[in-house]
């Protein structure tokens, strides 16, 4: 759908990706007593003071905002691990395995649970650096798409947001290669102007309106 009439549209908005990321579970340490919660999205709790428990990110953030828990930053968000990832990311052409929603999760935690993340400034700049290195790699990777008829492009370890950002460009580029390589190219170009007209009906009608 995105490709047919609205070439610059990504399938998901940033807010929608954040929405998806908010369902990832994270460890919290509650400071209140609360019975088990039986949500549509699953059962969580019961929560007891100082006893670590698993909760989806949105629940953790909601509790955190009300001062009812501390959030334990996930293992991969430690300075040690992020430093390693950044180095490996710089040294290799491959993408390092990170959580699918690493950008959104780190962003949410940095925004809402700053006092729960050790070395938050370090963590933030490391995440930023990793993001930059990865985007640079994506950019370089795109240059090599054309080499040898690419039918399917493997995006190993790419995160949700990264995939979403390159989607409009990559899918259209691949589509074009695909069409150039296929035999019904002539037919395709024949159809294109017609579609244009169909899509334009709306505005034109306004001109004719009396």
Question: Using CB under 8 A as the criterion, which residues of the chain lie in contact with other proteins when the complex forms?
Answer: 1-5, 11-12, 19-20, 22-23, 34-35, 37, 39-42, 58-59, 62-63, 66, 68, 151-158, 160, 163, 167, 170-172, 174-175, 178-179, 191, 194-195, 197-199, 201, 204-205, 208-209
Element (H, E) at 119: none
Nearer to other proteins, 80 or 192 (CB): 192
Tell the smallest beta-carbon distance from residue 37 to other proteins (Å).
Answer: 6
Tell the smallest beta-carbon distance from residue 96 to other proteins (Å).
Answer: 14
Give yes or no for a cis peptide into 46 (omega within 30° of 0). yes
Tell the smallest beta-carbon distance from residue 157 to other proteins (Å).
Answer: 8
**Alpha carbons 57 and 42: distance in angstroms, whole number:** 13
74 burial (CB, 10 Å; 0-12 / 13-18 / 19+) is middle
Count Cα neighbours of 96 within 13 Å in the Cβ-side half-sphere. 20
Nearer to other proteins, 127 or 160 (CB): 160
Tell the smallest beta-carbon distance from residue 123 to other proteins (Å).
Answer: 25
Nearer to other proteins, 100 or 126 (CB): 100
- Provide the 3-class DSSP secondary structure of residue 71: strand
Nearer to other proteins, 20 or 51 (CB): 20
Tell the smallest beta-carbon distance from residue 63 to other proteins (Å).
Answer: 8
**Alpha carbons 133 and 89: distance in angstroms, whole number:** 7
CB-based contacts of 136: which residues, under 8 Å, 6+ apart?
Answer: none
**Alpha carbons 35 and 46: distance in angstroms, whole number:** 5
Tell the smallest beta-carbon distance from residue 6 to other proteins (Å).
Answer: 10
Q: 106 with 123: CB under 8 angstroms?
A: yes
Nearer to other proteins, 19 or 121 (CB): 19
Nearer to other proteins, 123 or 131 (CB): 131
């Amino acid at each position: 759908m995105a490709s047919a009439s609205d070439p610059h549209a990504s399938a998901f908005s940033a807010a929608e990706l954040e929405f998806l990321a908010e369902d990832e579970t994270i460890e919290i340490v509650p400071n209140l007593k609360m019975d088990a919660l039986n949500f549509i999205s699953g059962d969580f709790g019961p929560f007891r003071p100082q006893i670590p428990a698993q909760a989806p990110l949105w629940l953790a953030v909601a509790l955190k905002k009300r001062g009812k828990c501390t959030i334990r930053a996930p293992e991969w968000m430690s300075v040690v691990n992020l430093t390693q990832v950044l180095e490996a990311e710089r040294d290799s052409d491959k993408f390092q395995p990170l959580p699918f929603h690493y950008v959104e999760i780190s962003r949410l935690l940095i925004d809402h649970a700053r006092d729960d993340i050790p070395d938050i400034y370090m963590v933030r700049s490391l995440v930023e650096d990793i993001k930059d290195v990865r985007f640079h790699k994506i950019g370089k990777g795109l240059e090599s798409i054309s080499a040898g008829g690419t039918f399917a492009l493997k995006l190993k370890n790419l995160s949700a947001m990264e995939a979403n950002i390159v989607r409009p460009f990559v899918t259209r580029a691949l589509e074009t290669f695909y069409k150039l390589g296929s035999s019904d190219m002539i037919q395709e170009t024949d159809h294109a102007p017609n579609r244009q007209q169909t899509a334009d009906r709306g505005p034109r009608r306004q001109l004719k309106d009396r």
